[in-house]
Amino acid sequence: MQDRAALARELEETWHRDIPLAAAMRIAVQSYDGRTLTVRGPLAANRNLHGTAFAGSVFSTCVLAGWGAAWLAWREHGMNGLIVVADSKIQYRKAVTGDLVCLCAPDSAAVAAALEEFRGMGRANLSLDCTIDVGERRAVTFTGTYVVQAPHH
Amino acid sequence: MQDRAALARELEETWHRDIPLAAAMRIAVQSYDGRTLTVRGPLAANRNLHGTAFAGSVFSTCVLAGWGAAWLAWREHGMNGLIVVADSKIQYRKAVTGDLVCLCAPDSAAVAAALEEFRGMGRANLSLDCTIDVGERRAVTFTGTYVVQAPHH
B65: domain CATH number is 3.10.129.10
In which band, very low, low, confident or very high, does the pLDDT at B28 lie, cut at 50, 70 and 90? very high
Cβ contacts of B49 on chain A, cutoff 8 Å: 14, 18-19
| B43-to-A21, B49, B144 alpha-carbon distances in Å | 11, 12, 23
Residue B65 domain boundaries: 4-149
CA gap B92, B31 in Å, rounded:
24
B141 at interface of A, judged by CB pairs closer than 8 A: no
| A1 pLDDT above the threshold of 80 | no
| B101 pLDDT above the threshold of 60 | yes
Exposed/middle/buried for A68, CB within 10 Å: 0-12, 13-18, 19+?
buried
Position A151 scores a pLDDT of: 87
Position A117 scores a pLDDT of: 97
A-contacting residues in B 54-113 (Cβ below 8 Å): 54-57, 59-61, 63-64, 67, 82, 84-92, 95
Q: Which percentage of chain A shows pLDDT scores above 90? A: 96
C-beta atoms of A20 and B49 within 8 A: no
What is residue A27's three-state secondary structure?
coil
The ipTM estimated for the assembled molecules is: 0.96
Position B149 scores a pLDDT of: 97
**Angle formed at CA A55 by CA A50 and CA A60, multiple of 5 degrees:** 140
The average confidence (pLDDT) of chain B is 96
Phi, psi torsion values for B62, nearest 5 degrees: -65, -45
Phi, psi torsion values for B127, nearest 5 degrees: -95, 130
| Average pLDDT estimate for B119-145 | 97
C-beta atoms of B47 and A85 within 8 A: no
| Average pLDDT estimate for A71-99 | 96
Domains held by chain B: number: 1
CA gap B76, B62 in Å, rounded:
21
Position B151 scores a pLDDT of: 87
| Average pLDDT estimate for B15-37 | 97
Shortest Cα distance from A24 to chain B (angstroms)? 7
In which band, very low, low, confident or very high, does the pLDDT at B2 lie, cut at 50, 70 and 90? low
> Is-contact B102 B39, C-beta < 8 A?
yes
Shortest Cα distance from B4 to chain A (angstroms)? 22
A43 at interface of B, judged by CB pairs closer than 8 A: no
| B4 pLDDT above the threshold of 60 | yes
